[in-house]
Homo-oligomer: A and B are copies of this chain.
Amino acid sequence: MPRPRTHDENLRLKLLDRAGELISADGPKALSLRKLAADVGTSTTAVYSLFGGKTDLVSALYAEGFERFGARMSGVSLTGDPVEDLVRLGVAYRTSALADPHLYAIMFTKSVPGFEPADETSEQARATMAPLEETIRKAVADGVFTDVPPEMITVSCWGLVHGLVSLELNGNLPEEFAVSTAYETALRANASGWLRR
């Protein structure tokens, strides 16, 4: 048989790790296949045999990002009070995003030019929102939230947290803005807006 393969699962993980580091350090622009390969002691060919190309490598990072994200989201301890729980989930969302902002950028903004998430992985993205969906579904069923399709509230909450986090990461918020407290207040106000009156 041929020479022993070095493009194995181990190398795959090393590439993925290093790629994440490079992106986290200097942004998506700094992720070059040549530099990546040199850093882990292989050639650019490895990326092609293990992933398929640069966009597929990014796709793998995308998936990993959602895995971490989903873990944090489902790790939130819920109280049963919908408003309080939505706030908690929102805070966890922000914490996750701030933990690795560049992964977040890959997930939710088109920060790597050629990359478009595949439908399958895009499905995984929404699966991350399961705890949120469940909380809202229950609140509507219990008559605590107003009677609209739950997805409507889900998307609204998701939109709010995503928007606030995006603005923060993008540097669009005023300098002297007390982000943390304002963030929580906004979450609470938004959730309250869905209370049955």
Question: Which residues on B sit within 8 Å (CB–CB) of A152?
Answer: 182, 185-186
Question: Which residues on B sit within 8 Å (CB–CB) of A108?
Answer: 166-167, 170, 172
Report if A172-B125 is in contact (Cβ < 8 Å); known contacts: A167-B155, A177-B155, A191-B193. yes
Question: Which residues on B sit within 8 Å (CB–CB) of A117?
Answer: 171
Binding site for B on A (CB under 8 A): 27-29, 105, 108-111, 113-114, 117, 122, 125-126, 146, 148-149, 151-153, 155-156, 158-164, 166-167, 170-174, 177, 182, 185-186, 189-194
Q: Is the CB of B155 within 8 A of A186?
A: yes
Query: What are 14 residue pairs bridging A and B, where the CB atoms are less than 8 Å apart in the complex?
Result: A29-B114, A108-B170, A110-B111, A111-B111, A113-B113, A117-B171, A122-B171, A122-B172, A151-B174, A155-B186, A156-B164, A156-B185, A156-B190, A160-B190
Q: How far is the CB of A156 from chain B (nearest CB, A)?
A: 4
Residue in B110, B113, B159, B185 whose beta carbon sits within 8 Å of that of A160 in the complex: B159
Q: Is the CB of B189 within 8 A of A29?
A: no
Report if A28-B113 is in contact (Cβ < 8 Å); known contacts: A148-B185, A155-B186. yes
